[in-house]
Structure 1
Amino acid sequence: MSKNKQNKENIKETSTEMHIENEITDTAGETAASDVNTEAQAAASDETEAQTEQEQNLSEKDEVISRLKRENQELKEKQDLLIRNVAELENIRRRNEKEKSDFFRYEGESIIRRLLPVIDDFERSLTEIEKAKEVDSVKKGIQLIHQKLTKVLEESGVQKIDSVGKEFNVDLHDALMHQNTPDYPPHTVVSEFAPAYMFKDKVIRHAQVVVSDENSGAQNSEESVAGGEENN
């Protein structure tokens, strides 16, 4: 009887120890699970913080890029404005230089314009003297004056332009009248009342001329005469 009691007590102690071990195991498992959950939560929190930080960095990067683009655009606009201003200043400088150059180049133009009528008078006088008699001394004197004055003008850059027999040119000629003639083709200078003059490379006076009309020329004149005879 005493042995059975002892066996029961041993079994009870063993059962108690097993229960304690189970409780310890369960507690350890719960503790381990809790630790795992804590670590998982910590990892998730770290990941969330990392993602938030990454998004913040991306946002800051986008903001920096946007600001740099704006600054680059503003800089480009300022550069374009500077280039336009420099080009405008260069154009003004060139225009001023040209005006200054033209001023010194053509500064005697007004004086020469006043001398041209004198040349015209001399030339008309020489034409009349050719018809006169016993005026050799007068003729020679006028010729010398004309030669000297012409030489002065030529040395100053003035050039007389011959127009008779040349095709009519609006840049050189002023047509005072038109004339039908068999001696010249149409639109040709037949005669001139006053010649054209150039000062260096600039026309300072147009020639006053008579121009052959569109029916001029030997063939056209013959056709015109024939047509007139037929009409008669």
Structure 2
Amino acid sequence: MKFKNIFKKDTSMTTENTLNDEIIDQNTIENNENVSDELDSKIEERVEEISKEEQLSQDLASEKDKFLRLFAEFENYKRRTTKERIELFKTANQEVLLALLPVLDDFDRAMIEINKSEDELLSKGVALIFDKLQTTLFSKGLEQVEVKAGDVFDADFAEAITQIPAPKMKGKIVDVLEKGYKLGDKIIRFPKVVIGQ
């Protein structure tokens, strides 16, 4: 009898343990499911955070790119306007100098005729005025384009008015009819020349 009681107790304990184990297993499964659900929701939140961070990073990179392009455009604009302003200052008095070039031509012709006369005082007086005018204009940036008879004709630096038959001077300047002038690096009037053919 004692043996039966022990066995009954033991069996009831085993059954009780099994039930406890099943309850624990069930709780563990439920806990695991809850943990799994929590992990899934945390993973989804993390993915959303990462995608938001990626989006913000892309937006930031895009804005940086726009800023750098705008900055580069502004720097190019500053350089271009500075260069244009310098060019404008160099050639600001171009119209006035162009208007005075015929006066220089007239002085050249007058000097040739006055030198033919025998009046030395008149020749010296006109020469002084002519030199003063030239000095003043040259101080404002005007330069004469150096072209003379015998030079090879270059259309970039002279304007051919006509051609004359001259076998020995073929492709060369035979005569300079009108002087050319430049202001800085820009030619404002090309020399007019006759070339041989």
**How does the TM-score come out when normalised to structure 2?**
0.85
Which segments of structure 1 move beyond 6 Å, counting only runs of 4 or more? none
Match of 2:24 among 39, 42, 51: 39
Distance 1:32 1:139 in 2: 140
Do the aligned residues in 1 keep the contact of 2:163 with 2:196 (CA within 8 Å)?
yes
Q: Which position in structure 2 is the counterpart of 1:216?
A: none
Q: Work out which of the residue numbers 48, 61, 79 in structure 1 matches 2:33.
A: 48
- Aligned AA for 2:46? K
- Which position in structure 2 is the counterpart of 1:105? 90
Name the amino acid aligned to 1:110: E
Which structure would you say has the larger Rg? Answer: 1
1:66–1:181 Cα change, 3 Å: same
User: Which whole-Å CA distance do the structure 1 matches of 2:22 and 2:32 have between them?
Assistant: 15
Count of residues paired in the alignment:
196
Superposition CA RMSD, Å? 2.3
Provide the residue aligned with 1:95 in structure 2.
Answer: 80
Q: Distance in 2 between matches of 1:162 and 1:91?
A: 36
Q: Unaligned stretches of 5+ in structure 2? A: none
C-alpha displacement at 1:194, in angstroms?
Answer: 1.2
Task: Name the CA distance, whole Å, in 1 between partners of 2:87 and 2:146.
Answer: 26
Match of 1:23 in 2: 8
Corresponding residue of 1:166: 151
Structure 2 distance, partners of 1:180, 1:70, is 80
Paired position in structure 2 for 1:75: 60
Larger RCO of the pair (alpha carbons < 8 Å, separation 6+): 2
Q: Name the CA distance, whole Å, in 1 between partners of 2:152 and 2:48.
A: 75
TM-score by length of 1: 0.73
